[in-house]
Structure 1
Amino acid sequence: MPVVAVARAGAGAGTSGRGVEMTRVGGRWRVTRPWPAHLRPFVHSYAGYWEAAVSPYRVRLVPTGRAVVVINLREPFAQVRRLGDTSPVSQVTGSLITGLEDGPRVCHHPGGQEAIRLELTPLGAFQLFAVPMSELTNRVVELCDVLGPRAGFLVEQLAATSDWGARFDLLDIALSARFERGPRPAPEVSHAWRLLSRAGGAMPVGRIAAEVGWSQGYLIRRFTEQIGLTPKASARVLRFHRAVRLLTREGANLTDATAACGFYDQAHLNREFRALAGTTPGQMAAARVTEGALAL
């Protein structure tokens, strides 16, 4: 959907000063403000969304190597489930958390959305959620089931004000307090994640283990606990995510992406896109991918 308008704080209702910016994308507004420097090691992206008119929609979410928090201030998602999952739907009725994923998920929304969406680094999520990330892998969980009843009170506070600057202030305070008292990830796991993510997934597990000074088996156990996916599965997701970024750039081609991301050949690239996104590289390149979401 093309961007059709941009309004900075003070140019429209619902924003105070303090650097809030609204960007209209199709029928929705995306509201952003730079988050504080001390949150940047933990938070990858941070934005509010609202609709001026009710417009139902459906999107497919693909793996990004990040955990997600969605704070619903009006209508929640009607359905959030793994692509192809035919089991009975366990409905998430309010705000939600998703851990790292290794496959696509489809979300249905009835329209009338007003929400705040955060993408967290895996270790930021481990520190914020204070539970083993492996417990959240490929799962969607109610926000209060992980963060407790105080999270519900925060959602009520956020919904009670229509001022986005005030909303972001409240959220920054709550996040800062939670990160401050959360568990610290092992330095070795932090180093392993940096090595793997900087390599775009193209680094053998044995080499990572040698770099951090752990046995391969011990690295896999601790990494999976604090990241949510095994090092091998994380590498697969990171390589896929890098390929998506390359293919959605202007002038990109499959041959260059295949070589740059370390796929054996284009058949290998196609298989990975089918497995991780339920689509082809060409379809992904033609779609507008925003924060891991493809409009359906």
Structure 2
Amino acid sequence: MPFTVYEHGAVAGWDVARPLRPGRSAGISLAGFRYRSAGSADLPVIPHPAVTVVVEFGDGSLVMGDASGWQQRGSLVAGLVPGAVRVRGENVTCVEVHVSPVVAHAVLGICPAELDRTVVALDDLWGRDAARLREQLGDAPSWEDRFTLTDALFSHRRGTGPPADPEVVRAWDRIIVSRGSVRVEDLAAEVGWSRRRLWSRFRSQVGLPPKRATTLVRFRHAAHRLTAGDSTARVAAECGYADQSHLHRETLAFTGVTPAALAADPGLAVDDIAWASTAPTETA
């Protein structure tokens, strides 16, 4: 069946689609990807402050792996920091879903803490629901239809697991709004918990301790600044790093490459188009 093309942007062989309107489920964001070039796609997985669900469909192949030889094929669920891994494949077409860690357990049925540096097959979590969604996505005539189908399933599954504590949700929201610049002591005081209780409850429900979460969110903001063309020195100074060496070490830890290499990688450009904050417009 031919595609009804809806492209928000295209870069390095990838068409990127985004929904025209917000979905029904708070804490869930969607984007669509299609690799239209000959040969094999090869992109880094840029750590994001969300649990990532990739639902592949069509005739292509999707493989996530790292330098050690580890691989996960097909639709998958990745934790907040999967490590320095890359996505490869031919004729890749997929819907990618970012799920806030404070709603992930309720929607996915698995706590983010169980996904620490781990990638699991979506079929192992959802069984027939995953297979049915792939079939529906393959039959859908447009990206907007695919987003509607995906959003409906995620909304239906809400309540599969327990909700996060309100204090954990508040602390997470504060980290996001501050772009990772808030102190853990201040977070604990704001939610009315001791630092130890915040660390324990936050780690068990989000999958990262608060300090690590602030580091991830800060890095994510820095990565956006790098791909926008800002210098490493400026990004380090304005994103809360001690110096350029600090940013260099953190980028290596999250991605396996230097800030300069990350800024030049098409994967970061694709990622920025997919998860930009501005609303897209539809094209014929």
Q: 1:287 aligns with which of 257, 265, 271?
A: 265
SS in 1 for 2:147: helix
Q: 1:160 aligns with which of 139, 149, 154?
A: 139
CA distance change for structure 1 residues 184 and 24 in 2, over 3 Å: closer, same or farther? same
User: Partner amino acid for 2:65?
Assistant: R
SS in 1 for 2:94: strand
Superposed displacement of residue 23, structure 1: 4.0
Residue 118 (str. 1) matches residue 97 (str. 2):
yes
Alpha-carbon distance in 2 for matches of 1:174, 1:258: 40
Residue 92 (str. 1) matches residue 78 (str. 2):
no
SS in 2 for 1:92: strand
Q: Deviations over 1:154-176 (max 9, x none)?
A: 22222233443332222222121
Residue 147 (str. 1) matches residue 147 (str. 2):
no
How do 1:52-63 residues align onto structure 2 when only pairs under 5 Å count?
A: 52=36, 54-63=38-47
Superposed displacement of residue 73, structure 1: 0.4
Alpha-carbon distance in 2 for matches of 1:264, 1:112: 42
Alpha-carbon distance in 1 for matches of 2:126, 2:154: 11
Q: Deviations over 1:109-152 (max 9, x none)?
A: 1x111211112222232321122210012111111222332222
Partner of 1:246: 225
SS in 2 for 1:291: helix
Alpha-carbon distance in 2 for matches of 1:168, 1:249: 27
- The worse-fitting range, judged by mean Cα deviation, of 165-174 and 283-292 is 283-292
**Would you say the 8 A contact 2:82–2:119 is kept in 1?**
no
Alpha-carbon distance in 2 for matches of 1:171, 1:183: 21
Alpha-carbon distance in 2 for matches of 1:114, 1:180: 29
**Would you say the 8 A contact 2:104–2:111 is kept in 1?**
no
Alpha-carbon distance in 1 for matches of 2:251, 2:18: 30
CA distance change for structure 1 residues 228 and 178 in 2, over 3 Å: closer, same or farther? same
CA distance change for structure 1 residues 37 and 52 in 2, over 3 Å: closer, same or farther? closer
TM-score normalized with structure 1 length: 0.81
Alignment root-mean-square deviation, CA: 2.5
SS in 1 for 2:162: coil
Q: 1:15 aligns with which of 4, 8, 18?
A: 4
Q: 1:30 aligns with which of 16, 19, 26?
A: 16
Partner of 1:259: 237
Alpha-carbon distance in 2 for matches of 1:167, 1:244: 29
SS in 1 for 2:208: coil
Residue 277 (str. 1) matches residue 266 (str. 2):
no
Superposed displacement of residue 232, structure 1: 1.4
User: Partner amino acid for 2:168?
Assistant: V
Higher strand share: 1
Alpha-carbon distance in 2 for matches of 1:28, 1:276: 23
Partner of 2:48: 64
Higher Rg of the two aligned structures: 1
More relative contact order in 1 or in 2 (CA 8 Å, sep 6+)? 2
**Would you say the 8 A contact 1:66–1:100 is kept in 2?**
yes
SS in 1 for 2:42: strand
Alpha-carbon distance in 2 for matches of 1:15, 1:264: 48
CA distance change for structure 1 residues 102 and 146 in 2, over 3 Å: closer, same or farther? closer
Residue 77 (str. 1) matches residue 62 (str. 2):
yes
CA distance change for structure 1 residues 38 and 253 in 2, over 3 Å: closer, same or farther? same
TM-score normalized with structure 2 length: 0.84
Q: Deviations over 1:35-72 (max 9, x none)?
A: 44532x3123x222234454302111121212111111
